[in-house]
Structure 1
């Protein structure tokens, strides 16, 4: 474009661009509707500040809150909150705050229930999926989770016999992926059967599998005694007269479910297991609880029985708390009429968000927040209070639809794993707390170059 301009015009164009940039910066800093919101200069005038910090911006935001208070401006048009009491003002059942279409549109899965900005459209889409993730359905299909949990223990047993460490980081993620693909397609990816736990599983073939489900449904060959997520979504009886989703629309649903399964649940399993193995007192206390309830180490551990164990519950909730689910912010659009947070009014259309990273590390709610402490959940009254601030799955009408299934995976997998290896024969292999540092790619990912969580066993 500049090559088409006369050389004599270039200085004028450059001056105009510079003048515009300066004017825009002055407007955003002094006259913008968010000009009164505390925060440093750069994020108020440009999104480049956010880009510079990239996948560690959630950590920088935490630093800024310590300096500027509970309400800060993190981009020209977005604010971030740290006061836990504000969470229920945004993320609640029937919320009027919409998901930010710009932020969630960047995921390039526009047809997924997860990415839908409109609360009304989301309500319809989620209504079709909800029955597949109900507690009743999870209990009916618990055997799927049990099978994957036992596969993982077999892999750990093989590692002990071979005297080799086992990559539990990918092992636990494989449990979650194998469960959700079995749930969705009645055809598991079987990552637990691969030597490296299927590290390259993101090279997915979702569309092909959805097409296969459609063909099996059309031919009457779909096993109707074993409903799956996509057989239900593709069944005309469940769509209230609306068009049946296309394969490419369901591909978006598939990607979002797989990412949630592998990242949120898989990371929580890894975090809980790592900290339990790293602390012999926690390991022993969990072992004693499991042995007392299930004397036979080879018996199938029932989900309903497991979720009644208080110390295992504490281990699971600490795993969820310190894996954070989504560590970064969950941006929402302020509805008509605006909103007030900690004395600051924000007009409608303003992007506002909070993060599990700050909620779960709030010292007033969770004393010594970075300590993995299952005992903090043992007192029933205190546990109910803490539950309000545990937001690994979000809250409200946009809370993760797969939460009941995730809890079943957490209880069955960890319960089975630690009951089977209750004789203190496992320990962490080389991984340190520093290796558990997270990067925010919306979901939590461990930093490249760090050591994956592995465990080694001794007979």
Structure 2
């Protein structure tokens, strides 16, 4: 009896202290953030508000709706601000900004950081120098044959399904992007396109192996992290608690272990070939040596971390982008027709896979890609940055040090002063001089020194794949009224894209 009473008193006291401390900090307003409206009534007091919004599955859309009501700065947590004014891009993400990646990247990183989650500026510069040759445009164009090969494997599968079969193009873009990045990065495709599924091996450090589904493991991991990561210093405690009280999150964290095992297995496989003396032209080789053959002397943990982000970010965003642009073209037949005309003017019937050299500078093809990336950026959420200890100026206002600031690409791409009729898919806005003027406000790959180093790989894959598909097939939605559902984790995922294919002309079968 006394134990129950003591437990109730302890619980009540703990909750009272937590609530009281949050209320005290709000009214104390040490950093002067109370002048900004909250995302909701709870947000100025606790990050739980943003976690709850994240759990709903589309927090960037909610922020966009609030910003559109005339709130250029919104308080998303006790110490977090969301911006919508495009002029804030340079202040938060530009090359000269003093803002750095915030503590969320630290809590999500493993024993070793990778290029995307390293927060220290000096360490970031070292990593970027190591990886710059691997991601250089010159290297990528030499690796074009790997993208062409992967596209050919996808076309082989699609040609077999041209008799009216419904194809989930969204799944196949996943298979394509994963095979392509594995071939580019590790000289060995995952084999997903040939198999028509994403079954693969996950390894343990004890040498055990098991079969898992790649996307289930990766997306389960990102779903859990994207909901709980906003708790910052409480993150590891909340992860432990979620394993105890939630079967849903317990499953996510089990999938997280399997995801760790996937890139461990892939790294071990490639490392074994490296130890045997195979000199392969891929990302892994560039990771191990510079262009003069000098070793980078990286720890295995760092190599593993870089392979993990290559297989994650290097596949997910491209797959999403491929599905999105196809959907937009299918519901805007005039734009599809114009793109086919542009492609037909440079591609021959024997160009089963579109040669990159022929299509890389086509203005309308690039406009179609960029407009889809604008409308539904694969990385949609505001990438969090922290103001320097001495504070900084954002939009002409002083923001104290240690404040998390961010801007969602989904939000900024819907600013009607920059992108008129922002909800409308209109590739023409990117053409000519007017299109060039939009460049500073296009942040699908972020901006500044921390902008996506893999954007050239993504454009290479997207360009060849879309040009090939549109030139080779007549494509229709399996259901004319189909609208994809979207769920936001750290990326904005469409759920499916059911299409039907028909060959546009008679061509020889692929080998």
TM-score computed with the length of structure 1 as normaliser = 0.88
Q: State the partner residue of 1:229.
A: 283
| 295, 298, 303: which one aligns with 2:351 | 298
Matches of 2:62 and 2:338 in 1, distance apart? 37
Q: Which moved more, 1:112-121 or 1:88-97?
A: 88-97
Q: State the partner residue of 1:36.
A: 35
| 191, 196, 201: which one aligns with 2:214 | 201
Q: State the partner residue of 1:438.
A: 486
What is the CA distance between 1:169 and its match in structure 2? Answer: 0.4
Matches of 2:335 and 2:44 in 1, distance apart? 46
- Alpha carbons of structure 1 residues 431 and 186: separation in structure 2 relative to 1, 3 Å: farther
Q: State the partner residue of 1:102.
A: 104
Contact 2:324 2:376 in 1 (8 A): yes
Q: State the partner residue of 2:151.
A: 149
Contact 2:135 2:456 in 1 (8 A): yes
| Superimposed CA distance per residue, residues 205-247 of structure 1 (whole angstroms, 9 cap, x where no aligned partner) | 3223322333332332x1x2x322222323489898864221x
3-state SS, counterpart of residue 183 of structure 1: helix
What is the CA distance between 1:72 and its match in structure 2? Answer: 1.5
Contact 2:355 2:464 in 1 (8 A): yes
- Alpha carbons of structure 1 residues 216 and 196: separation in structure 2 relative to 1, 3 Å: closer
Q: State the partner residue of 1:419.
A: 471
| 361, 368, 384: which one aligns with 2:414 | 361
Q: State the partner residue of 1:455.
A: 499
Matches of 2:155 and 2:36 in 1, distance apart? 52
What is the CA distance between 1:409 and its match in structure 2? Answer: 0.7
- Alpha carbons of structure 1 residues 294 and 68: separation in structure 2 relative to 1, 3 Å: closer
What is the CA distance between 1:75 and its match in structure 2? Answer: 0.3
Q: Which moved more, 1:104-113 or 1:174-183?
A: 104-113
Q: State the partner residue of 1:403.
A: 455
Q: State the partner residue of 2:238.
A: none
What is the CA distance between 1:92 and its match in structure 2? Answer: 2.1
What is the CA distance between 1:342 and its match in structure 2? Answer: 3.4
| Superimposed CA distance per residue, residues 399-439 of structure 1 (whole angstroms, 9 cap, x where no aligned partner) | 11111111111111111111112xxx32011275632x422
Q: State the partner residue of 1:382.
A: 434
Give the gaps of 5 or more residues in structure 1: none
Give the gaps of 5 or more residues in structure 2: 201-212, 218-258, 504-511
Matches of 1:410 and 1:375 in 2, distance apart? 19
TM-score computed with the length of structure 2 as normaliser = 0.80
Contact 1:29 1:41 in 2 (8 A): no
Matched, 1:429 2:486: no
| Superimposed CA distance per residue, residues 328-370 of structure 1 (whole angstroms, 9 cap, x where no aligned partner) | 1100010132122335321111110111111212211111112
What is the CA distance between 1:456 and its match in structure 2? Answer: 0.4
| 126, 129, 137: which one aligns with 1:127 | 129
3-state SS, counterpart of residue 138 of structure 1: helix
Q: State the partner residue of 2:255.
A: none
Cα-Cα RMSD: 2.7
3-state SS, counterpart of residue 159 of structure 1: coil
Instruction: Give the alignment of 1:55-74 within 5 angstroms.
Output: 55-67=57-69, 69-74=71-76
Contact 1:70 1:82 in 2 (8 A): yes
What is the CA distance between 1:304 and its match in structure 2? Answer: 3.3
| Superimposed CA distance per residue, residues 167-203 of structure 1 (whole angstroms, 9 cap, x where no aligned partner) | 2101112221111101111111021111236592245
What is the CA distance between 1:20 and its match in structure 2? Answer: 5.4
Q: State the partner residue of 1:187.
A: 188
Contact 1:71 1:341 in 2 (8 A): no
- Alpha carbons of structure 1 residues 24 and 105: separation in structure 2 relative to 1, 3 Å: closer
Q: State the partner residue of 2:173.
A: 172
Matched, 1:340 2:401: no
What is the CA distance between 1:12 and its match in structure 2? Answer: 7.8
Q: State the partner residue of 1:252.
A: 305
Q: State the partner residue of 1:266.
A: 319
Matches of 1:454 and 1:17 in 2, distance apart? 49
Contact 1:29 1:45 in 2 (8 A): no
Instruction: Give the alignment of 1:291-330 within 5 angstroms.
Output: 291-298=344-351, 300-330=353-383
Matches of 2:449 and 2:107 in 1, distance apart? 19
Q: Which moved more, 1:211-220 or 1:348-357?
A: 211-220
| Superimposed CA distance per residue, residues 293-313 of structure 1 (whole angstroms, 9 cap, x where no aligned partner) | 123253553323312211111
| Superimposed CA distance per residue, residues 358-411 of structure 1 (whole angstroms, 9 cap, x where no aligned partner) | 121221111111222111212x21111112211111111111111111111111
3-state SS, counterpart of residue 388 of structure 1: helix
Contact 1:185 1:230 in 2 (8 A): yes
Q: State the partner residue of 1:21.
A: 19
What is the CA distance between 1:113 and its match in structure 2? Answer: 1.1
- Alpha carbons of structure 1 residues 26 and 192: separation in structure 2 relative to 1, 3 Å: same
Matches of 1:245 and 1:94 in 2, distance apart? 31
- Alpha carbons of structure 1 residues 47 and 183: separation in structure 2 relative to 1, 3 Å: same
- Alpha carbons of structure 1 residues 427 and 17: separation in structure 2 relative to 1, 3 Å: closer
3-state SS, counterpart of residue 87 of structure 1: helix
Q: State the partner residue of 2:254.
A: none
- Alpha carbons of structure 1 residues 219 and 454: separation in structure 2 relative to 1, 3 Å: same
Matches of 1:327 and 1:236 in 2, distance apart? 34
Matches of 1:239 and 1:111 in 2, distance apart? 24
